[in-house]
Structure 1
Amino acid sequence: MRDAAERDAAERDADAPRAAVLDPIDRASEVVFGLLMSLSFTGALSVASAGRDEIRTMLASAVGCNLAWGLVDAVMFVVRARVARGHRAALAERFARAGDAAEARAVLGEALPGRLAAALPEAALERLRAMARAAAPVPASGSAARDDLRAAFGVFALVVAATFPVVLPFVLLADAATALRVSNGLAIALLFGAGAVLGRYAGWGAARTGFAMVALGAAMVATIRLLGG
């Protein structure tokens, strides 16, 4: 029976359309995180007195920091994904075993927006309960683990990739002051872009959210530096 359930789960995974590994919130957030970490290093550089040794130290520190935190973020993404999957499975089990309609509706409210759960007609709720009771537990599939690893790699890559627009001007340009201006300009553009992605996703308006993200990023970098980061 278990082998049959696993085969059925694998077939469903193969037939199901593949969702994006990372949603827009994850992608934009990881880019912003990488940018802020990098800016905390470049912003601390005194361009008036910085020599090549100081710039090399800053570059190594920024890249090393984002490599480390990209790895931490990737590992925690896998942990979060597995915990969330377990939580969804537990909710499905509780819904199937609910003693009455009120309890089932309360469990459903944990998975759906409260208004949707409350508005669901009694007959529809009972049909869902019957379907949940009849459905066999779905074992964890290998594709879920692979998706978690792909997403974790994406998290790591985004954090690390966000380092380079901020630090490369210091490699390519001899004048540190010019490099800092170019670096800050690129960081502002990327912060605006990340905010625009979030704004479109949330329905808030791309431009307004982009400018808000730039302001938020500047405030966060100042706070990080104030705290010694």
Structure 2
Amino acid sequence: MQSTGEQKRARVLDPVDRVTEVIFGLLMAMTFTGTISVATSGQEAERTMMIAALGCNLAWGLADAVMYLLRTLIERTRNRTLRTNLRDATDAAAGQALIAEALPPRLAAAAGPEELESLRRRLVEYSSMPVPPRLGWDDFRGAVGVFLLVVLSTFPLVVPFLLLDQTALAVRLSNLVGLGVLFIAGWMLSKYAGAKPWQGGLAMAVTGAVLITAIIALGG
């Protein structure tokens, strides 16, 4: 049971999950901060934009949190089904085929019969202690974390509108802040993947710049 809890905590704290949720929330917010340049300028327009951006990310964060819980539940149900099928398999070859089918293609191709058989025996032993696929406290903590990451990613973009009176300058500064956050996100993802961080950061920032340009162009 302790190992299961550790696995759930590791999933919640996975760097890819955290960074990609921030990117999703950031891009959603940028669809509003980018189009403010073609909207009616003034305090009322800025206030409307900020409320719309926050409301959009609240809704997106809630949906993403629910999807996180759904993915977790489906994954555990699938794992339990695999263990049940392994336990009911007629022979070792059938069980090895089930494991090979569940593994990623490259791992399944690299694993030989001995590795598959060793894994099959361990899973069969583990299947004698069935655990119902249900959600626990750590899962709901992870869902809350997903929600907060999406929502909080809105605020760096709206800060310039709170500090500056000039709408055009605030838009440009907000876009620069968004590009900076995207660069940091790309840097972190590339470093985690073992690639060159500056290349990943630059690629992510360029992608964000293209998206911002497309948003403004489509907005008029």
TM-score (norm 2): 0.84
Partner of 2:130: 138
Structure 1 runs not aligned, ≥5 long: 1-8
Contact 1:41 1:62 in 2 (8 A): yes
- Secondary structure, aligned partner of 1:45: helix
Q: Which letter does structure 2 place at the counterpart of 1:155?
A: V
Contact 1:105 1:118 in 2 (8 A): no
The 1:75/1:30 distance shift into structure 2, 3 A limit, reads same
- Secondary structure, aligned partner of 2:136: helix
Structure 2 runs not aligned, ≥5 long: none
Pick aligned residue for 2:185 from 194, 213, 227: 194
Residue 64 of structure 1 and its aligned partner are, at CA, apart by 0.9
Residue 202 of structure 1 and its aligned partner are, at CA, apart by 2.2
Residue range with higher mean Cα deviation, 42-51 or 63-72:
42-51
Residue 77 of structure 1 and its aligned partner are, at CA, apart by 0.8
State the 4+ residue runs in structure 1 displaced beyond 4 angstroms. Answer: 11-18, 221-228
In 2, the alpha carbon distance for the partners of 1:17 and 1:68 equals 25
The 1:25/1:175 distance shift into structure 2, 3 A limit, reads same
1:58 aligns to 2:57 (yes or no): no
Q: Percent identity at matched positions?
A: 45
The 1:222/1:181 distance shift into structure 2, 3 A limit, reads closer
In 1, the alpha carbon distance for the partners of 2:187 and 2:78 equals 31
RMSD over aligned Cα atoms: 2.8
Q: Which letter does structure 1 place at the counterpart of 2:79?
A: R
1:203 aligns to 2:200 (yes or no): no
Contact 2:26 2:154 in 1 (8 A): yes
Contact 2:100 2:108 in 1 (8 A): yes
**Equivalenced residues, count:** 218
TM-score (norm 1): 0.81
In 2, the alpha carbon distance for the partners of 1:62 and 1:157 equals 14
- Secondary structure, aligned partner of 2:195: coil
